[in-house]
Amino acid sequence: MNFRKTSIILSFAAMSASMMTAEPVVSNVTLAQDQSTRKVTITYSLSQEPGIVTVDILTNGVSIGDANLTHFAGDVNRVVQTGNARTIHWYPEEAWPSNRTDAATALVTAWATNAPPNYMVVDLIDGAMTYYTSTNCLPDGGLANDVYRTDRMVFRKIPARGVTWRMGSPTNELGRTKTGGTSDETPHLVTLTKDYWFGIYPVTMGQHKRFTDNNTDYAPSSCFFTNIASHLTRPMQGIGVKSVRSSSTVSWPDSGHAVASGTYIAKFRARVGGLPFDLPTEAQWEYAARAGAGTALTTGKDLNQKDADPQLDVLGRYQKNCGLADTASTDAAIRANDDSTGTSKVGIYLPNRWGIYDIHGNVHDVCLDRYAEYAGDMETVQADPVGGDSSYTKYVARGGCWGYYDGKRGGNAANCRLATRRQAENDTDKAVSFRHYGYRLCLEIE
């Protein structure tokens, strides 16, 4: 790619005036290309406030497309401090090969740190956090690269602040009613007061093992999948809530976001400079999972069948589109190269509208809340609800899973609806009883 002309574009991040009195401001943008190496150098100044900087390349006023906005280095895709002569390097021979243009412009945008772009990636090796406007901008091939299932963790910004919505399910939703005609999905109004980051995948075995002292395989006897070769990209399972975040003396909501030392979340926080990542509350989980859908499925549709439903087949791993592999045997036969049974690799089914995967099935996501019946209604709005208290010994689990049949609701598909709730023990054992449970992480945006 050769540039024969350059131009300057100034860009300012949009931000609510109520959030900050100042905002990051970009100025003095320049773009130049080394004709021998073809490396493009962009410089800019950043003033007033630090900001998260992203860049777009335009030709004839049109973006070259997110998929080509890769292979950047320097003061970009991260929080940048104020100053002059901030520098971005772009390598078009890698990102946009075999293209030529008469003129190109650099659109440099500085986002307020409390109003970031849609995606954040945490490097689990060094704790670095980078930011992108879409997953198409992710380096190293994007989500197709399993590095985002093992050594990096991708989060989606959830635009939740100030939205009032219905949590739970309508009384006529297929699969809702439990034995005796009662339900624990009473519809009620909720609002969340902050936007937040939400993991697009459940935490995988590879990601979990980045922070554990024991790097032995959690498979197959504890976790019931059959392909030992692919275990790192499957969701973490077969492990209790205690070893993820809590202990008998540190629990939610008694101690706020305090976590027990030595747990996965404690180690994760230490890696990222102490930021209070945690399990999502049940309300945060459901709002992110629904992505605006008020139906049983993220697609905006309801189930047609409670047991096996083709509409669910494309959205997640559940008992009717996989074999159970439900055995504690360590026999070599169940280690065969077969991904059709047990859990699936994360991210192979369709995501919801916000790009979040494995909402329906695979493993239950354990939440911060202790399990209790909903107390709200459709008249009063609850802000940032957290269910239960220390008198409740079990945690809420959401999303359904690969091998669980809920006889009370009469089917496998019914167990994977957006509103379905289950109870998870607070235990440390990697036991058979926990083979259906996993988790994902969340961080409120301050």
User: Do 71 and 189 fall within a single domain?
Assistant: no
Name the residue among 103, 68, 195, 210 with its Cα closest to residue 152: 210
168 within some domain: no
pLDDT at 326: 46
User: Do 186 and 116 fall within a single domain?
Assistant: no
Listing DSSP states for 239-292 in one string gives --HHHHT--SS--TTTTTT---TTSHHHHHHHHTTT---BPPPHHHHHHHHHTT
DSSP three-state, residue 192 = strand
User: Do 388 and 243 fall within a single domain?
Assistant: yes
User: Do 98 and 227 fall within a single domain?
Assistant: no
CATH number of the domain where residue 188 is located: 3.90.1580.10
pLDDT at 332: 39
Last residue of a domain, one of 120, 138, 164: 120
125 within some domain: no
Question: CB–CB of 199/442 below 8 Å?
Answer: yes
pLDDT at 328: 45
392 within some domain: yes
pLDDT at 114: 96
Determine the Cα–Cα distance for residues 177 and 308; give it in Å rounded to an integer: 17
Last residue of a domain, one of 104, 120, 136: 120
Q: What total of structural domains would you count in the chain? A: 2
Can you give the residue range of the structural domain that contains 383? 179-446
49 within some domain: yes
Tokens of 149: 């299932």
10 within some domain: yes
Is residue 250 classed exposed, middle or buried when 0-12, 13-18 and 19+ CB atoms within 10 A define those classes? middle
User: Do 82 and 195 fall within a single domain?
Assistant: no
pLDDT at 153: 98
Tokens of 159: 């635009």
pLDDT at 213: 57
pLDDT at 330: 45
Last residue of a domain, one of 101, 120, 139: 120
Listing DSSP states for 130-164 in one string gives EEESSGGG-STTGGGSTHHHHTEEEEEEE--BT-E
Is residue 376 classed exposed, middle or buried when 0-12, 13-18 and 19+ CB atoms within 10 A define those classes? middle
User: Do 95 and 235 fall within a single domain?
Assistant: no
User: Do 352 and 272 fall within a single domain?
Assistant: yes
Q: What is the pLDDT along the chain (446 residues), one digit of tens a residue?
A: 444 434 343 333 333 333 445 899 999 999 999 988 889 999 999 999 999 999 999 998 999 999 999 999 999 999 999 999 999 999 999 999 888 777 889 999 999 999 999 999 999 999 999 999 999 999 999 999 999 999 999 999 999 999 999 999 998 999 887 645 567 899 999 999 999 999 999 999 899 888 875 544 444 444 555 566 678 898 887 666 667 887 544 444 545 678 888 888 999 999 999 999 999 999 999 999 999 999 999 999 999 999 999 999 999 999 888 765 444 444 434 444 556 677 889 999 999 999 999 999 999 999 988 888 898 899 999 999 987 776 777 889 999 988 776 666 656 899 999 999 988 876 655 444 567 888 999 999 99
pLDDT at 255: 56
136 within some domain: no
pLDDT at 271: 96
DSSP class of residue 236 equals P
376 within some domain: yes
128 within some domain: no
Question: CB–CB of 420/400 below 8 Å?
Answer: yes
User: Do 204 and 82 fall within a single domain?
Assistant: no
**Predicted structure pTM score:** 0.90
pLDDT at 434: 62
User: Do 343 and 261 fall within a single domain?
Assistant: yes
CA distances from 379 to 185, 188, 190, 292, 382 (A): 16, 8, 10, 20, 10
